[in-house]
Chains A and B, each alone.
Chain A
Amino acid sequence: MSFTDLTILFGQENDINTGFEKYIPNIFFIIYSIALFVFYNMRIESAQSGNFIDLLWKIFVTGLLTTVVSLVLKSLDLLMGNTSLIQNPLMIDFLYHIHLGLLVAFLVSTFVVWKRLVLYQKSKLLLRIWRFFEYLLLISLIGNLFSSDIIEYILYPLVIIAVFLSANMKWVAYLNFMQKWKSILLLVLTLLYLVYFYINIEEMQSNYNYLDVALDSVFITSLFIFTAIYAAFSLLVILFNLPTSSVFEQKLEEVVNFQRLSQSIQTEQSANQVYEILLESSVRAAKADAAWIEATIDGKELVFRHNIGRGTILNIKQFIEAERDNNLFDFNNIDKRIKPGKHLKKLKGIDFNSIVAFPIMISEERIGILVLLKELKEGFNSELVNITQTFVNQAGISIEGFKLMSEAIENERYKEELNIAKNVQSRLLPKILDANADFDITAFSEAADEVGGDYYDSFKINDHKIALIIGDVSGKGTSAAFHMSQMKGVFHALAQLDLPPEEFLIKANKAINTSLDKTSFVTISYFVLDRAEKMVKFARAGHCPTLYFDKEKNRASYFTNKGLGLGIVRNDSFAKYVQPRAFSYLPGDILVLYTDGITEAKNFKGDELGYDHLAKIINENAGLEAADLQKKIIAELYEFCGQTDLDDDYTTVIVKFK
C-alpha cells in the first residue's frame, strides 16, 4: 500500500507543479493504474484458489483502507473550514486527485478479484472474452492521453461485455450456508464503498467545476460499472441461492460419505467400521430418525444400532413377522427390490411410522440388512431410497473388497509356506552324490510346482559299494512331496542293510505301503555299484527303464527287465514281480537315470520327447563328461519344449564310468 500511496503523491505533486503539460499527469495516471493492476494481480495470484471468502475479504480490507484514508482527508477538509489553503484550487485539485487515486486503487483490487471469480472453472471462450475486455480497458486507459471522442464509444461495448461477464459466477455454487452469509455481508460492504466514492467524487466535481471530470473518463466509468454490476449480480445470486444451499451441501456430504465408504477398503478398516460408516451415512442421507444394521461377520451375527433400543428392534421384527401376509415385507425374504415407506402405524407404543429396509449383498449373497425408520408417515421418498441404496451397494463392494483382500493375504501366506516346503525339500535332494574312483556322478532335478515328487539319492554302503536310487511318486505337488520324503526315509533305513536290490524293493514296498493312499504309488530303480566286482546290480519297481550306454558297442539301449511300482500290490505277492539284473561296467560306459518328466515332456504340437530321442542325445554326446552330458540333455529338453511349460517334475542322474 505504501508503494501505491507514494505513487499517488508523486503523481499528484507532478500534476500541481507542471499544470500546463496536460499529458504528463495522464501518463502518470496510466502508469499508476497499471502498477496497481500488476501489484494486485500478484497478491491475489498467491491466494488459495477455492477460498472465495478470503478473496472477498481482501476487497473488504482494501475498501476499508481506501475509504478510511478518504474520510480522514475529508474530515481534515471540514476541520480547516474556509481557510484560504483549503480554498486554494491547487490544493483542492490535489485532494481530488488523491480521492480519485484511492478510488482507482479500490476499483483495480476489486477488478482483480472479480477476474478470479469470473474465471473460476473457465472455458476457452470465456477466457478469450475476458482478455478482450482487458484489452479494451487498456485502450480506454491509454485513450485518456488523447481525449478523443472516439474513445467515448468504447464505453458501450465495455459495459455490454461487463454485463455478460457478470453472468459467470460458478463459485457461488460452492459456498456453504455460512459462507454465503459472509459473502453477502462482504458484497454489501463493497457496494457501500462504491456508493461512498461515487457520492464523494460527484460532490467534489459539482462543488468545484474547474476540476477534471474523472467520472467521464471511460476507463474509470467502465471499471466502476463492472465492479458494481458484478457485486450486485453476485449479491442477488447468492441471496436467491440461500434457500437451496442446504440441498447442495447435502449432495456434497453424500459424495464425501460415498468416498469414505470406498476408501475404507484401502485404509484397512474392518468390516465393522464399514457397517458403522454405512449406518451413519444412511441415517444422514435419508434423514432417518433411527436405524439398525444386522450383519454376519465371520459367522457372527452382529447388530449396529442408531437411536434405537434392542427391545424396539425386537418389537418391530415381531410385528413385521406377524404382518408378513399383510403386504409388509418379509425380512428374511427381502430381495433386491425395495418397498419404501411401509407403515408401522398399527404398532402401538412405537414412535416410528415409516420403515424401509435394504439387503446388503455380496455377489448375490445376502450378508446383512439395513433398516431405516422415520417418525413421519410416508417418510422415505424414492430420492432418499436411491441414495441410500447406493451407499448400501458401496458398502457391499467394500466388504467384498475386505474378503478378497484377506483371501489374498491368506494366499500369500500359503505361498510363503510352500516356499518353505520347497526349501526343505531341496535339502532332501543331495547336492553331491557319493562317488568313487570308478565313476563320476551328477544329478539335476526340477519340480513343476513349488514341491515335487521326484527323488534321487545315494548311500555309501561300505568302501566299495554305493547304493543309488531314483524315484518318482505318482501325482505332483504337496502330496507327492510328502511321499517323496517318506521314500527318502525308507531308502536310508534299508540301504545300510546292504541288501540285494530285489530284497530292497520287497522291503521298501512293505515299508511304504502303509503311508500311501489307495491311488498313490512310487516307482523306483535301485542300484548297487560295486567297485570290487566292477559290477552294477539293480532292480526296477515300475520306474522308467534304465538307459545304458555301452562304450564297446558305442550304443545306448534300455534295460527291459520287468518290475512293479511300490504300493500297487500290498501283499507278499509283490516279490514275484521283481526281476533283478546285473551288468559289468567298463570305462566310458554311461548309466542314465531319469524320470518320466523327461521322456514325456511335450512340445507345442503335443508330441513327447520319447525314449528314442533321449537315447539319441546320449549316443551323440557320449564323449562328454558326466556334468556336460547332463547340461546337454537339459538344453536339448528345453529346446524340444520351446515355449511350452514343463508341467511335470523332471530329474536326471548321470553316472559315467572311468
Chain B
Amino acid sequence: MVYIDTTKENDITTLKITGEVDASSSIQLDESLGAVVRQGDPKILIDCSGLNYISSAGLGVFMSYIDDIKTSNIKMTFFGLSEKVRSVFDILGLDQLLNIVTTKKEALSAINEA
C-alpha cells in the first residue's frame, strides 16, 4: 500500500510517498507523478522519507519520466531516502540519472539554484 500526497507551495510541487511501492501500487505512483509532470510544474520534490520499499516496477515509474522531465525542462529532486531504498536506486544506476540528496534543505537549494 502506498499513500501519495501532492502539495504545492509557490512554484514547488512536493510528492510525499508513504508506504511501499510494489507492482500494484506503482500504478498509483504513475498516476500521481504523471499528473504533476503533465501539468508542467517546473520544480518537483519527491519526499521519500516515508518510503519503506520500492520494487523494480516502482523504479520503472520514475525511470519512465526521465525523458519527459529532460525535454520539459523540469527540475526533479529526491530526498529523504532510507539507506535501503537508496541502495536500490544506486544499484540500478538511477543515482546517475536522477538528482538524489539527503535532506529537504539540500533538495530545496538544489532545485532553486540557477
Contact = CB atoms under 8 A, between A and B. Distances in A.
Interface of A: 472, 474-476, 518-521, 523, 541-545, 562-565, 568-569, 577, 596, 608
Interface in B41-65: 56-57, 59-61, 63-64
Interface secondary structure of A, over-half rule: loop
A520 B56 CA distance: 8
A562 B93 CA distance: 7
Interface string B16-30: 000000010010001
Contact of B60 (A472, A474, A569, A608): A474
Contacts of B97: 564, 568-569
Contacts of A545: 91
A473 to B, nearest CB: 8
Given A564-B93, A564-B97, 6 more contacts: A474-B59, A544-B91, A562-B93, A564-B96, A569-B66, A577-B93
B80 to A, nearest CB: 20
Nearest to A480: B56
B100 to A, nearest CB: 14
5 contacts: A521-B92, A541-B93, A542-B93, A568-B66, A568-B97
B8 interface: no
Interface residues of B, number: 18
B93 A475 contact: no
B56 A521 contact: yes
A543 to B, nearest CB: 8
A577 to B, nearest CB: 6
A564 B92 contact: yes
Contacts of B84: 608
A542 B59 CA distance: 12
Nearest to B22: A647
Contact of B63 (A562, A563, A568): A568
A519 B64 contact: yes
Contacts of A608: 84
Contacts of A577: 93, 96
A519 to B, nearest CB: 4
Nearest to A567: B63
A646 to B, nearest CB: 14
Interface centre among A518, A520, A541, A596 (most CB of B within 10 A): A518
A542 B61 CA distance: 16
B94 interface: yes
A565 B93 contact: yes
A564 B97 CA distance: 9
Nearest to B92: A542
B91 A476 contact: no
A475 B64 CA distance: 14
Given A476-B23, A564-B97, A518 B64 contact: yes
A584 B56 CA distance: 33
